[in-house]
Chain A
Amino acid sequence: MSDTTASNSRSGETIRANPRSSALRAAGPWLLSAAALVALPFIFRSDTYLTVMSLMGIAIVFALSYNMMLGQTGMLSFGHAVYYGLGAYFVVHGMNWAIATRAPIPLPLMPLVGGIAGLGFAVIFGWLSTKRSGTTFSMISLGLAELVGSSSLILRTFFGGEEGITTNRTKLLRLTDWSFGSQFQMYYLIAAWCLISAVVMYALTRTPFGRMCNAVRENPERAQFVGYNPQVVRYIAFCLSGFFAGIAGALAGINFELANANLFGAAQSGTVLLATFIGGIGTFVGPVLGAVLVSYLQVMLSDITEVWQLYFGLMFIAVVMFAPGGLAGLVQMHAPVVRAGVIGRLMPSYLMAIVPALLLLLGVVMLIEMTVQLAVKQSEGPAMKLFGIGFNANQPWPWLLMVVLLASAYALFRLVSPRLSAAWDSARVTAAERGIVI
């Protein structure tokens, strides 16, 4: 999990000789992202895709806001959905108010209401929680989430009880002929806010404050001895993070035309942690990857299995144990290998590793689904279908097959792994000869 800061300063300082090319370099990825965001709905046209891509955009903003704390400042929050959920509630109330009073506020500006709500509550709650760091901070975040969760059940007029509150996003002042009634138009609203938020959050990492966030993450004691109060750094990070979480929540509220207690529940806080971590907390793009993947899997997996959360849990554990840098970390790990031109050496063993990986996946899926069939879905009987094959989960042979799959996956991994590490060693040596450190 090598840090982004090293490469950031490289692109920032050493090419200062030519400011125009450095500006282009900085803007390049953003222009590409903007173009991709504009083009995507023309490639993925169906409503399902538009819905999924909208969810991804929301999740990206949320995960990036989360990583301002976790990855950048080293603050592990278990209650980030509080600011997301409050953002959603305030935007839905704000929209209903604007509709009722005919206030001249167009829908595209409405996410700001959520952002300000997120910021406002972060200012209050952060005052309390950022006085502490580490485990204490995490525990306070959990307590605050409980607090807000239970108040939502008490303050029924504001939170609307079990059902939550609804709105109609087409009823606001229109500046163009777009009503934002269709998912197509809604997608573009989300994409625009996603891009703006990402640019601003990236820019924040490159300010004096952003650098001191990293310093406080790395060594809060030392930060004090260069004149900074780590509590203040954490507090500002918390507030800004709350602002963008509020924006994300507002986008969700507008997208669903609904705000309910699920939005600030523990599951929501857990999902953003999962997505951010799976994507990788050590880089700026990590949470983006994680948000995209997790949103996609959430939709796809929940269609094909009831216990999709279980798969998420396993994926999370696998990432924490074997790829603590997340997806972005894996990419980053291979970048120098590619630059050194020795990626080809890893390929044979990677290809070989695909076989046990697939066997492992199959075995795990069988284990989980058969267990669920017998233990959870008892009423449906033992007959089940997996990958189009029907069988009875109470017979011994599927269990035997599952064990064989897992055992052979294990055996094959043991065969492949020395080859893989040998390939890495050889790549490393050659790369070092070519002046590239892996």
Chain B
Amino acid sequence: MAVVLVRATESTTGRTTVAIEDEVCVIGGGLAGMTAALRAAHEGARVRLLSHKKSTLRHASGLVDILGYADGELVADPFDALSSLPKTHPYRRVGNDAVRAGLSLFDDVTGDAYRGTHTDANALVATHGGTVKPTARYPARVAPGLASRDRKTLLVGFDSLTAFDAPLAADHLAAAGVPGTTRGVTVAFPGDFRADSRVTRFARALDDDETVETASGSTPVRRALARTLESHLGDAERVGFPAVLGEGESQEVREALESSLGIDVFEVPMGPPSLLGLRLEALFQEALDEAGVRRTTGNPVTEFDASDGRIQSVSTDRNGRPTPFHADEFVLATGGLVGKGIDSDREGVVEPVFDCHVPHPDDRYEWFDDEAFGDHPFARFGVDVDDDLRPLDADGGAEYDNLRAAGGVLGGADFAAEKSGSGISLATGHAAGRAAGAAANQ
């Protein structure tokens, strides 16, 4: 691995500081930024990843969607439907091959932890609200629960975990016409946990197989949980829990439950804090460390230096003190409205780091639709890019020669309605990382 070049410069505060130099600098540590950094590193570049806060993966389900709906219609094969998207859609910018390449990088990083590589077809996963949703890759812990598998299913909820009401979800899935029958039951999580325990508390108890007090004495929690369910199993062929079955030891937890119950065990993806999303983030971070990507987290990039149409450096801000990072190529992967890569006030919408142009209507009453699930222009807010993913200014020229953008910061796609969030991050992160890495090598 190359050594970081260190050079003394004059910082804006007048004090001498140590400058940090890399070949590729990625701003934003979400799925898009991590993918770009990893791909650029594979290109042989020396890569720095700067990230301010936790990525949106802690909110996300942990599923990896490519495309679930096109023109509002459910899509069975996302790769078939890509060409029906508008030309300004990020997928059209990078092309089908980049979508596959991004996904294949994902498969390498996640290995056994994810399923879905055997087919191009979308899978339908039960949601914690009781619908099903189309996705391309799903955690192994979710796999036995797929809706297309015709099984008698028992869903189990915990009475203090209000985000998953198993009997309601079961009735909802029936209304959605899923094959097989679905029943739901609510039980108390064994042991004396506070009513407000966080999901991580249950997960940890299962990871460590903590001893809990039950009516029949002290029992390891996995066994106690299995015992709680015995009388409810009936003819069920698989049993689904909210995704709280362990953090680090989830496979062991699931296997223990499967062997006690004698049927398949699966998990239903949940909202924040999402253990599946956090687990996905951890897998990528391990891969980044292995690839030698340097991660600097905790402070936002607030300033940059540019000359001759190129970004020379960016600076993070730590309590008012700037730290500059120099590089040859930059990737902007700061996320969309949720990740704060796109910001707004009453007057307009901006990309706050480089002030790249963000197309939007002048009148803020044209940013939204009147219905909650309407076609919201705001959901598509983001920078517009050329086919090399370089952000475009208002006149359609590249903002900077050595700046590319990836992931949620890109405009032109309503990932929530399309079910395309992680897919766009993977495809564009891959394309931006490869191009930045290659350019840095020249």
A and B are partners in one complex rather than unrelated chains: no
B residues near A, CB below 8 A?
Answer: none
